[in-house]
Structure 1
């Protein structure tokens, strides 16, 4: 079989490896697989291409345009994932591993596409938080906004997830409107190269939005500016070297890191043998030790169990590990494939030897184990290795050494405080899990360990059927952690997008804030509606378009009829003396929901038209009670518009109710779905 020539994509063209390219091996056979790397890449041309071509093209798109682009990319990758599966077997990964890497990466891109459409505006400015009133009469206001950085994101990824590792960074970056230069780990860059080629060949991405470095970055990081971002996944040693470079520090270049992590899993004191929680705990640990041959940044490295249950945990784990078939990842019977390379195998053995100075290996002999359908000596195979640390308080290396493979250590705890202390000895992790059916145990761990872990995963008999697992970062939630884990926060929905945007405080009048944010701010100019706004289509409506209604008088008969009809006979509406004893009411008052109903009657156009449905109210506040004899009138203003699909969009209306003295009685946002066409 001829060697693969793994190319880079730089400044709009594919560049082949040069004479100094690195040789890559097949993880299963140990045989040479391909060559990657070109020391002559013009990195400045790549940066210029991203900044001058990719960036402007992406920033010209709205968040919704970019979200649709992500959705199309994900769908296109989904059509070609079999080719990615076939190539990924050479990394040592099984078909089940491919589902995590390839399908998981595509799924992550779909989630960001959805969040971009649901949680971000069809605009170029993201409003971050509420308007702040900075003056007495509200003519001077403040608002935080986020806008796209005008640089490039350099993504330095790890070897273990060549597809997911790229897409989980790429999705929020592109959604933010920033071009990316992807540098995968060389050991598995051939899978990333194929994924990049599939995306580029689709024609979905604008020119300059995505480039690829298969090999070294050269001096690219020394050419970055304050508008650029480095997002890194890998070892703490490499992260420290990169983030402490004088150029990075001097220019305050954003550096997001996800690195070494001594993740822990705690068996709750209530989870004794025979309970669903005990079986779940053993299953989770086994899965995290063997999935991707333990090459996961979220894998369980420290197994923390009550001292009384340590032997039972070890026995149950050995029973499962014994049945784990190791071998050719293409074989249906294989449950654990190879490590990514023989170099990585050597590294894991070195780290396991360090752990072995403080813990006893109770399962997994790296010199004597079966490999089915492949050669244990030629391929990068190792057995799962389980250690037992009898004195975790005196141990040091068990809590600071990560063997990035199928290696984990069991240790016992005296009480829950001791378990929390042991989990925190890792000095920062991506995730810690707690298997318990006792909510108070979960609360204690959250309070005691939350500061040391980026994610706390609780599971038990109630959630086990639908839970995603200890080691599964989800795009909706933060992926990162403090301390040893790097201090970064990847993913996390829109939080992940914000890494590639600048948060800026704007200050000015209501009209200024309305113009910048494309969202009407109270106090800004109102536009008279040429006709009732409920008769106008989504696209015809303009931000600030307003109608004001005639007043309606509230009578005592209205209040009593509403009480009888709804059954809401709360004393403030029915008993004048009792209401007067309440510090909030002058006497009997109208129901708040009566006022909302009357308000709707004042502003609704009843005939069939573009308004399809009322989908809810937001931010409802009642400011002043209304007595019998008072009147209310309504102001209805188009506040914001958000397209939802090909037929209709959401209109957010600002509604205020005022009394006959023009005092504010209530306000809220009304949400309707409006058709694009009549």
Structure 2
């Protein structure tokens, strides 16, 4: 069988393996199947290609353009994923494991595409937070903005997720407008290379947006500037070596790390045998020990159970593990495949031996286990191994040694404080989980352990049918953790995009801030569109276009009619004496919602037109009460425009209500959907 030649894609060209190429073995058969790596790659040329071609091409697109690109890329990968499945079996992964890696990665791209369209502007500048008033009159203001960094994002990924590991970094990077250079782990880079080929051949990516290094990076990290970034997933030792390099430190180059961690799961004191929570706990631990053969950065390495339940957990978990079929990952009956390589198998056995000095192996014999459909001696197979540590307080290695495979250690705790102390001894993790039906248990663990863990996953009978599992990082939530876990964060929706952008404090006049952010700021110039703004379609409306209404008087009859019609007869509107005793009111006042209703009637254009729907109000505040006899007028200004699909977009209007003396009465943002065509 001929070897697969795993190429790199550098500066617009595919480059075959050359000097320094490394052989890659099939995890199932142990046979050499591919070679990858090239010491001749021109690192500076790759960086220049990203900076001079990829960056400008991406930054020319708006956030929405890039979000649409991500959606199209995800859809294209989804159509081609069978080829990724077929190749990925050689990594030892089962079909169920493919769903985590390949489908999970594609799903992550879809989520970032959606969030980019819904939570980011159709613009080139992202506004971070509200406008800050820096002067008394409002003529000098501040605003934080985020713009794409002007360098390249170097992604160094781990072997266990050759597709998800790439896409979960790539999606927020491209959405931010920054080009990426992807360096997968060599052991599984052949799957990553195929995914990159599929994306590049789609024609959806602008030139220079994505490059691939299959093998070593050479001296690339020594050539980075303050505009570049490194995002790393892997071991704590490698992360320390890379992030502490003098060049990285001297130039303050951003370095985000997601490292190995001793993730833990706690069985709540209320979750006794026979409860749904006990069964759920056993199921979760089993899944985390066997999915991807335990080669997950979020897998459960330490199991905490009430001392009285330790034996029951060992018995139940061992029974479930004994039914796990190990073998050829292509077989439908296989539930756990091989580790990624025989070298990884040896590493796991070495770490298991270290754990064995402090804990007793109570399930799984690496010298005696069944493998179906494959050669156990040639392939990188291991059985699930469960250890029991009888003295977790006196132990050290069970709290600092990770066997990156199907290995976990159970230990007992005396009370919840003890459980929290044990779970925190990992020195920082990506995730801890708690299976409990007691909200107070959840609160106590969150307060006691939150500072040590990037994510805490709670589950019980109420959420178990829809929960995603202890080991599932979701693109909506941050993925990372303090201390040993690397101190970084990935994913987390738009938070993940911000890693690839620079936050800058902008200071200036309202007109300056409006021009930079493409969002109208109070105090900036207003525009007269001529016709009523509700008669003008989405594209015709301009930022700052404003309508001023005449005054309308509010009468006592208005207040009482509104009170009886709505049922809102609160004393401040109906009882003069009671209202005067209230420190906020001078006497009977108009309902705030009456004023909002009047405002709509004052600025609305009633005839059929491009305004399709009122979809809500944001940031509503009432500043000054209105009494009968007072008058109000409205200012309606186009604040922001956001396309939503091919037919219409969202218009955000800034609305202010002032009284006859020009004093501000109420303020809010009105949201409407406006057609592109009148």
What is the alpha-carbon distance in structure 2 between the residues aligned to residue 350 and residue 115 of structure 1?
43
Q: Distance in 1 between matches of 2:451 and 2:594?
A: 47
Distance 1:83 1:345 in 2: 27
- For 1:380 and 1:348, the matched residues in 2 are separated by 11
Corresponding position of 1:302: 302
- 3-state secondary structure, aligned to 2:117: helix
Residue 518 (structure 1) aligns with: 518
The aligned counterpart of 2:500 is 500
Runs of 4+ residues over 3 Å off in structure 1: none
Distance 1:606 1:283 in 2: 59
SS at match of 1:128: strand
Q: Residues 80-119 of structure 1: matches in 2 within 5 Å?
A: 80-119=80-119
Quick one: distance in 1 between partners of 2:440 and 2:540?
Answer: 55
- Tell me the equivalent position of 1:265: 265
1:594 alignment partner in structure 2: 594
How far apart, in 1, do the equivalents of 2:640 and 2:397 lie? 56
| Counterpart position of 2:471 | 471
Deviation string, structure 1 residues 226-264 (Cα, Å, up to 9, x no partner): 000000000000000000000000000000000010000
Say whether the 8 Å CA contact 2:19–2:40 is kept in structure 1: no
* C-alpha RMSD of the superposition: 0.4
Equivalent in the alignment of 1:457? 457
Secondary structure of the 2:188 match is helix
Q: How does 1:598-617 map to 2 (within 5 A)?
A: 598-617=598-617
Corresponding residue for residue 129 of structure 1: 129
How far apart, CA to CA, are the structure 2 residues paired with 1:529 and 1:253?
48
5+ residue gaps in structure 1?
none
Please give the residue correspondences for 1:409-488 in structure 2 after superposition, counting only pairs within 5 Å.
Answer: 409-488=409-488
Distance in 2 (CA, whole Å) between partners of 1:528 and 1:648 is: 23
Question: In the aligned structure 2, how far is the partner of 1:514 from the partner of 1:552?
Answer: 30
Alpha-carbon offset, residue 530 of structure 1: 1.2
TM-score, normalised via structure 1 length: 1.00
Aligned partner of 1:203 in structure 2 is 203
**1:121 Cα deviation after fit:** 0.2
State the Cα distance separating 1:528 from its structure 2 match.
1.1
Query: Quick check: 2:24–2:34 contact (8 Å CA) kept in 1?
Result: yes
Name the structure 2 match of 1:324. 324
Displacement, 1:568? 0.3
| Aligned pairs (5 A) from 1:563-574 | 563-574=563-574
Equivalent position of 1:655 in the other structure: 655
Separation (CA, whole Å) in 2 of partners of 1:656 and 1:32? 71
1:39 CA displacement: 0.3
Deviations 1:412-459 (A, max 9, x none): 000000000000000000000000000000000000000000000000
Offset of 1:486 from its aligned partner? 0.2
The number of residues matched between the two structures is 678
CA–CA distance in structure 2, aligned partners of residues 677 and 19 of structure 1 = 60
Aligned to 1:54: 54
Please report how far the alpha carbon of residue 529 of structure 1 lies from its aligned counterpart in structure 2 after TM superposition. Answer: 2.2
Q: 1:339-418 counterparts in 2 under 5 A?
A: 339-418=339-418
Deviations 1:516-543 (A, max 9, x none): 0000000000001210000000000000
Tell me the residue number matched to 1:156.
156
Structure 2 counterpart SS, 1:594: helix
State the match for 1:281 in structure 2: 281
CA distance in structure 1 between the partners assigned to 2:4 and 2:492 by the alignment? 36
Q: Structure 2: how far apart are the matches of 1:463 and 1:514? A: 45
Task: Give the secondary structure class of the aligned counterpart of 2:310.
Answer: helix
Residue 30 (structure 2) pairs with residue 30 (structure 1): yes
Deviation, 1:170, is 0.1
In structure 2, what is the equivalent of residue 64 of structure 1?
A: 64
Query: Counterparts of 1:352 and 1:538 in 2: how far apart (Å)?
Result: 64
Partner of 1:169: 169
- Structure 1 residue 20: Cα displacement: 2.5
The alignment partner of 2:338 has SS state of coil
Decide whether the 8 Å contact of 2:614 with 2:673 is kept in 1: yes
Which residue number corresponds to residue 583 of structure 1?
583
User: In structure 1, what is the Cα distance between the partners aligned to 2:633 and 2:529?
Assistant: 17
1:561 CA drift (Å): 0.4
- How far apart in 1 are the matches of 2:108 and 2:141? 37
CA distance in 1, matches of 2:318, 2:613: 58
How far apart, CA to CA, are the structure 2 residues paired with 1:185 and 1:132?
45
Listed one character per residue, the Cα deviations across residues 621-673 of structure 1 (whole Å, up to 9, x for unaligned) are 00000000000000000000000001100000000000000000000000000
Q: 2:256 is paired with a residue of what secondary structure? A: strand
- Matched-pair contact (CA < 8 Å) for 2:232–2:257: yes
Cross-structure match for 1:556: 556
Secondary structure of 1:362 counterpart: strand
Give the C-alpha shift of residue 363 in structure 1: 0.3
Counterparts of 1:438 and 1:308, CA distance in 2:
18
